[in-house]
């Protein structure tokens, strides 16, 4: 399927256009290179759409590669979730899936090459000492006392590291660059460390693992990547990216280009913080519908098309900015307003009896599944003497601005008749338990014959045929626009981010609603059936754009 045809141009496309026109490249090869240490979030969706979209636009190829150099934080669960998310968004990678661990032997060989050239050395400073020697942003670093070891000694020590003769933290391999560099990343960065950890792809074959910055550029080169696209926080790392490739015997030298990462209001994009939300129990898992993860958005009812459209609208620039949550919500509203079938659900039910209908009256009414799309068909709705309406849709007294049911006044039942509230019944605490009404049998699909004007429309469900359901109303996970800047991002959590309504009732057609299928609950919002619940549960995807009186569809 084509996801890229209508994407606007950007500075990266302009670079690629120039590269193809000049003959620098004959074709385009990109990659999406996630670390499998968590679930993907909406920020990764931007990168997915960019990398796969560019490859598709230029009839090139895009690899899915897992940069799996940190086995302690990685798992097969994360690998599988990432594959699922990429495909759900509508993209397919070229050929087989790639892993940086596929190249561990070659990476080791390139590290040996750097040692042989006098450009890498085994350091036995502790991690704390290495940090101390590195200096600060305003003061240069100091050379390690092990920096000038002979090549032969470094080769022997590196072999011993591979053979498991060093404990973790007692030795590492560092690139020999410049401890006085104004770029911290160039101050003899660590490129291999000892880790006795089981790897999800290579098992226990290795006890030394290459660092990300060393691995990433070589993996790009081995795969023939033409344009290595990453976010702005890797801008300084480009110097190390180029240094490694310039100093090993490898033919391909990809170029790295940086674009601004996605910052979204009322959430966090740090996988570390997202993981903390999960492990500390603030959410129910990586796919909690309040999470900005792709799996969380999917469970909440977001569609692939809406996320792709969001990524298209925000564009690709070098300018850091924060996107309003409303832009993401607008994308899903636009999608669902066009494509979601309509249904009726009463979230906070109160009993209503139509007294001039006979006991046991049952009538099947027809309602369109979409007001503007007759091709989506109709559904049957049972109409009975007792129905349920939302408690917010009735008042004993109200001013003229209130367009719902008022004692002594009329209102139309959606897809049904005009009713008039005659009296109410209350419990000992004064709460309304039943509303008694009459109905005009000559108002199905038409106005009252005598010209009475009925302005309000309310939704309803048959009391005897309605299906009990739980409805979960989701709000923003955090109560402040920039929780990452708070003293404690956990303290910024929104205590009202989830409200559970256990006594909702939905129309019978929703009893067999498929998981993650979105519906517009008329006058309430867009909802989808929860994919993780055995019973009937609906999650709020997004509220209607306007108030109930303005949102008739």
Residue 150 included in any domain: yes
Distance CA 550, CA 454 (A): 16
Sign of CA dihedral 329, 333, 334, 335: positive
**pLDDT tier, 182 (very low <50, low <70, confident <90, very high otherwise):** very high
In three-state secondary structure terms, 402 is coil
Distance CA 206, CA 105 (A): 10
How far from each other are the two terminal CA atoms of the chain, in whole angstroms?
A: 30
More confident residue, 484 or 372: 372
Q: Measuring CA to CA, how many Å separate 259 from each of 91, 268, 315, 409?
A: 21, 19, 10, 59
Residue 222 included in any domain: no
Residue 368 included in any domain: no
pLDDT of residue 102: 98
Distance, C-alpha 206 to centroid of its chain: 34
- Which residues are marked as active site? 35, 261, 271
Residue 141 included in any domain: yes
Residue 154 included in any domain: yes
pLDDT of residue 379: 97
Model-level pTM? 0.93
Residue 120 has pLDDT above 50, yes or no: yes
Residue 111 included in any domain: yes
CA nearest to 100, candidates 39, 169, 36: 36
Residue 516 has pLDDT above 50, yes or no: yes
**pLDDT tier, 320 (very low <50, low <70, confident <90, very high otherwise):** confident
CA nearest to 89, candidates 259, 312, 341, 337: 312
Q: How long is the chain?
A: 553
Residue 199 included in any domain: yes
**pLDDT tier, 451 (very low <50, low <70, confident <90, very high otherwise):** confident
pLDDT of residue 6: 60
| Range of the structural domain that residue 133 is part of | 104-211
Please compute the mean of the pLDDT values over residues 391-411 and round it to a whole number: 96
Residue 340 included in any domain: no
Q: Measuring CA to CA, how many Å separate 365 from each of 73, 335, 368?
A: 56, 28, 10
CA nearest to 534, candidates 520, 515, 510: 515
Query: SS3 letters for 92-130?
Result: CCCCCCEEHHHHHHHHHHHHHHHHHCCCEEEECCCHHHH
Average pLDDT, the chain: 95
DSSP state of 396: S
CATH number of 177's domain: 3.90.800.10
CB 98 within 8 A of CB 223: yes
- Domain total of the chain: 1
Beta bridge partners, 200, equal none
pLDDT of residue 546: 37
Distance CA 210, CA 202 (A): 13
In three-state secondary structure terms, 176 is coil
């Amino acid at each position: 399927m084509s996801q890229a045809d209508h994407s606007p141009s950007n500075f990266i496309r302009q670079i690629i256009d120039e590269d193809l026109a000049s003959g620098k490249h004959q074709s385009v090869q990109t990659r999406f290179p996630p670390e499998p240490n968590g679930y993907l979030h909406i920020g990764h969706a931007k990168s997915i759409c960019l990398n796969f979209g560019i490859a598709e636009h230029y009839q090139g190829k895009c690899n899915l590669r897992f940069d799996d150099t940190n086995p302690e934080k990685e798992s097969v669960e994360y690998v599988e979730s990432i594959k699922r998310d990429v495909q759900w968004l509508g993209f397919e990678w070229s050929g087989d899936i790639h892993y940086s661990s596929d190249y561990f032997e070659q990476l080791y060989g390139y590290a040996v090459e750097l040692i042989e050239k006098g450009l890498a050395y085994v350091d036995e400073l502790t991690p704390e000492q290495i940090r101390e020697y590195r200096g600060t942003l305003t003061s240069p670093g100091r050379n390690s006392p092990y920096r000038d070891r002979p090549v032969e000694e470094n080769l022997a020590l590196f072999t011993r590291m591979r053979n498991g003769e060093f404990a973790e933290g007692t030795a590492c391999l560092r690139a020999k660059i410049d401890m006085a560099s104004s770029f911290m990343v160039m101050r003899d960065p660590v490129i291999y460390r000892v880790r006795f950890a089981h790897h999800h792809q290579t098992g226990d074959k290795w006890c030394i693992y290459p660092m990300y910055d060393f691995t990433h550029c070589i993996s790009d080169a081995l795969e023939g990547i033409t344009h290595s696209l990453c976010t702005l926080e890797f801008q300084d790392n480009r110097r190390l990216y180029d240094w490694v490739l310039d100093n090993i015997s490898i033919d391909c030298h990809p170029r790295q280009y940086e674009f601004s990462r996605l910052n979204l209001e009322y959430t966090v994009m740090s996988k570390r913080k997202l993981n903390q939300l999960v492990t500390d129990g603030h959410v129910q898992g990586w796919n909690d519908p309040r999470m900005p993860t792709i799996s969380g958005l999917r469970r909440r009812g977001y569609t692939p098309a809406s996320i792709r459209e969001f990524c298209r609208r925000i564009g690709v620039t070098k300018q850091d900015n924060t996107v309003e949550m409303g832009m993401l919500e607008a994308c899903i509203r636009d999608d669902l307003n066009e494509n979601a079938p309509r249904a009726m659900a009463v979230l906070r039910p109160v009993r209503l009896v139509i007294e001039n209908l006979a006991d046991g009256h049952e009538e099947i009414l027809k309602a369109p599944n979409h007001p503007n799309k007759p091709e989506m068909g109709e559904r049957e709705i049972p109409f009975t003497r007792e129905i349920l309406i939302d408690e917010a849709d009735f008042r004993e007294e109200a001013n003229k601005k209130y367009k719902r049911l008022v004692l002594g006044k009329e209102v139309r039942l959606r897809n049904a008749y005009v009713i008039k509230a005659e009296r109410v019944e209350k419990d000992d605490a004064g709460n309304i338990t039943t509303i008694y009404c009459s109905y005009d049998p000559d108002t199905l699909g038409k106005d009252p014959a005598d010209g009475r004007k009925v302005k309000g429309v309310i939704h309803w469900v048959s009391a005897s045929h309605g299906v009990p359901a739980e409805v979960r109303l989701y709000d923003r996970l955090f109560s402040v626009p920039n929780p990452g800047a708070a003293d404690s991002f956990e303290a910024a959590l929104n205590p009202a981010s989830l409200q559970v309504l256990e006594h909702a009732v939905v129309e019978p057609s929703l009893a067999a609603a498929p998981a993650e299928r979105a519906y517009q609950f008329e006058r309430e919002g867009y909802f989808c059936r929860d994919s993780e619940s055995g019973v009937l549960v609906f999650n709020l995807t997004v509220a209607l754009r306007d108030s109930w009186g303005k949102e008739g569809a």
